[in-house]
Structure 1
Amino acid sequence: MSSSSIHPWGPVRWAENGAVRLAYDRFTEGSDGEPLLLATGLGANRHWIPDGLCHLLAAHGFAVARYDQRDGGDSTHLPPTATRNPISALFAKRGEAYTAEDMADDAAVVMDALGWSSAHLLGVSLGGAVAQRVALRHPDRVRTLITMAAVPGDVSGLRTMRFIRMGTLAKFARLKFPDTPEGAVAAGLAVSRLVASPNHPFDEEAAREAAARNVDSGMHDQQAQSRQIGAQWHGPPISAVTRPTLVLHGADDPLIKPAASRAIASRIPGARLMLLPRVGHEFPERSWESVAAAIRSLADATSGAHR
């Protein structure tokens, strides 16, 4: 077994957007491929995107990099704010810490640090909304846009309710675990169970092992999640996106309704919608090959525009 398969990621590096430092790293396989940047979800660090999927993306010709959103993983965590609950932050009239524009700029800063003038951009959950905003704010930096398990990037507050299963979000808000490594593992397992497809057996042993490998305190840091989810967008509507777009969504998503993906696909000109059967708010192995192939197909259809 090669050393790259044991340690498939390069060293952690940092990009800077003002006072915010953003942790990122690169997949060691496929480094000469087309740039593909991965943006993660609410509270989640960059390790939640499976290495197996990244291996397939590299095999399909992509140079893969990933980063931690501000207030997530190894990136800068902002000072506490008055809003301490993600649900109340979701419905606040204004963000208390930073804007959605700031988070979109973070992705561009990471590309700068990577030496990429442009990249394919895959965002998952909150990262999907961020990716849509990057395509609006920095269209010249985005080769193709792939949004997964996300709400439309231009909705906020009460308008978001139609797309979110509030019962599941309430369960997230009720998760309470000690601020210890053991608490982080327990939180990771609980979150994995909540987001899994209800129509596919949940592999608790595998989920526990994955949580133990990735001890992510962001899974139960409601302060950080509140700051992320409370970041408000002040830019144009997603109907102004001009980049080739693929909209992915789990057909069984227990957190974000598939209606969200249909709304995104209907409003972004020329977007393709791909519902993933027996997939929840997750990236299970059974979906990797079809997802990687669809991303490759989207890139091939637009090849030459950024060469």
Structure 2
Amino acid sequence: MSKSATHPWTLVRFAENGPIELAYERFTEGADGEPLLLMTGLGVNRLWIPDGLCHLLAGAGFGVARYDQRDGGESTHLPPARTGNPLFTLFRKRGEAYTAEDMADDAIAVLDALHWESAHLLGVSLGGAIAQRVALRHPGRVRTVTTMSAVPGDVAGLKSLRFIRMGTLAKLARLKFPDTREGAIAAGFEISRLLASPARPFDEPAAWEAAERTADAGVHDQQAQSRQIGAQWRSGPISDIRHPTLVLHGADDPLIKPAAATAIASRIPGARKLLLPEVGHELPEPAWHTVTREIQALAGLAAHT
């Protein structure tokens, strides 16, 4: 199933949730480890999760898989609906295309396709909110929950505004690039620049390489992003989560305020919050060892509860 030593992922396969197909793949290293599902953020594909982090997670005893959210990457993109600028979607009372429950069920479809009865979850940004929702909606399928750079999973629309730096969101919404591969690369680079920690020098060559490797129209597909943002949660509060939970957040996150991490950790019983110094709304290499160590410790805690 492995492609090559330089591409340490299995061939892409597709899980099904009704008419929705979800592209997923498994990391070939440590495939027999404890199941760990990686969940991506708004408008980006699974390739934004660095292979280097996955290598460390595999070495820590995890079998790693990642997938594209609906309306992202190689997963199903929904037909155009009455959507517009993602910024304005926050002011609506409900989405029109699908619900947050649907997106939580997508993750379960991927677990089913992987033949995993349960898994640890690591969700970044939008993926972090979805991980919380999966734990609420499908508690028996979840071992631990790790969110990073996320808002509480039971807030949306206007309620989420207090956690978001609107100036950065407005800058992201104003980015305009041609609908070409070159445009996707340029958009990915500019997004990386906007979301990086100002406490570290911005590595332009590395950002260009990453943008070329992860090039996807989703980073500037405002309709798809609006549908993802507009997916409303109507189920229970995150205070009902009973899984061991870790809440990571970049201390310098320019998009989601660290207050979001405080809110999540204060409402989920027993949750632990950790701010990552010199980290923005990103997964930079200096943080990989810390992220891996903390998730490994969380899994160890779950094994003894």
TM-score by length of 2: 0.98
Superposed displacement of residue 132, structure 1: 0.3
Other-structure match for 1:138: 138
1:160 & 1:123 partners in 2: Cα distance? Answer: 17
Match of 2:128 in 1: 128
SS at the partner of 2:228? helix
Residues 204-245 of structure 1: CA distance to partner in whole angstroms, max 9, x if unpaired?
A: 111011111121111100000000000000011100001110
2:167 equivalent in structure 1: 167
Over the matched positions of the two proteins, sequence identity in percent amounts to 73
Match in the other structure for 1:282? 282
Q: Which letter maps to 1:127?
A: G
Query: Which deviates further from its counterpart, 262-271 or 209-218?
Result: 209-218
**Number of aligned pairs?**
304
- Residue 54 of structure 1 contacts residue 64 of structure 1 at CA under 8 Å; is this kept in 2? yes
> Once superposed, what is the RMSD of the aligned Cα atoms?
1.1
d(CA) in 2 for partners of 1:288, 1:92: 36
Is the CA contact 1:4–1:28 (under 8 Å) kept in the aligned structure 2?
A: no
Show the counterpart of 2:263.
263
Which residue does 1:87 correspond to in 2? Answer: 87
1:37-57 CA-to-partner distances (Å, cap 9, x unmatched) read 000000010000000000000
- The residue number in structure 1 matching 2:11 is 11
8 Å contact kept, 1:253–1:279: yes
Spell out the pairing of 1:60-71 with structure 2 (5 A cutoff). Answer: 60-71=60-71
SS at match of 1:56: helix
1:66 is paired with a residue whose SS is strand
Separation in 2 of the partners of 1:170 and 1:198? 18
> Structure 1 residue 181: deviation in Å?
0.5
Name stretches of at least 5 consecutive residues in structure 2 with no aligned partner.
none
**Structure 1 residues 119 and 153, CA gap change in structure 2 (3 angstroms):** same
C-alpha separation in 2, matches of 1:85 and 1:226: 7
Match of 1:249?
249
Once the two structures are superposed, what CA deviation does each residue of 1:74-122 show, in whole Å capped at 9, x if it has no partner? 0000011112111111221111100000000000010000000000000
Find the aligned partners of 2:214 and 2:106 in 1 and give their Cα distance. Answer: 23
Partner Cα separation in structure 2 for residue 8 and residue 84 of structure 1? 38
SS in 2 for 1:219: helix
User: What residue number does 2:303 align with?
Assistant: 303
3-state DSSP of counterpart to 1:121: strand
Matched, 1:155 2:155: yes
Offset at 1:159?
1.0
> 2-side partners of 1:210 and 1:47: how far apart?
9
- For residues 256 and 4 of structure 1, what CA distance do their matches in structure 2 show? 37
In 1, are the aligned partners of 2:38 and 2:123 still within 8 Å (CA)?
A: yes
Contact 2:3 2:10 in 1 (8 A): no
| CA shift digits 1:6-57 (9 cap, x unpaired) | 1110000000001000000000000010000000000010000000000000
CA contact (8 A) 1:4 1:29 kept: no
CA contact (8 A) 2:29 2:58 kept: yes
Detail structure 1 runs of 4+ shifted over 4 Å in the superposition.
none
Deviation at 1:302, TM superposition (A): 1.2
The alpha-carbon deviation at position 5 of structure 1 amounts to 3.8
Partner of 1:44: 44
Deviation at 1:304, TM superposition (A): 5.9
3-state SS, counterpart of residue 269 of structure 1: coil
Unaligned runs of 5+ in 1: none
Tell me the amino acid that sits aligned with residue 153 of structure 2.
G
Q: Deviations over 1:147-184 (max 9, x none)?
A: 00000000111111110000000001000000000000
Q: After alignment, is 197-206 or 275-284 more displaced? A: 197-206
CA displacement at 1:3 relative to structure 2: 7.4
Partner amino acid for 1:16?
E
The equivalent of 1:235 in structure 2 is 235
Structure 1 pair 235–3 and aligned structure 2 pair: CA distance change class (3 A): closer
CA distance in 2: counterparts of 1:230 and 1:201, whole angstroms: 34
Other structure's SS at 1:8 match = strand
SS of 1:302's partner is: helix
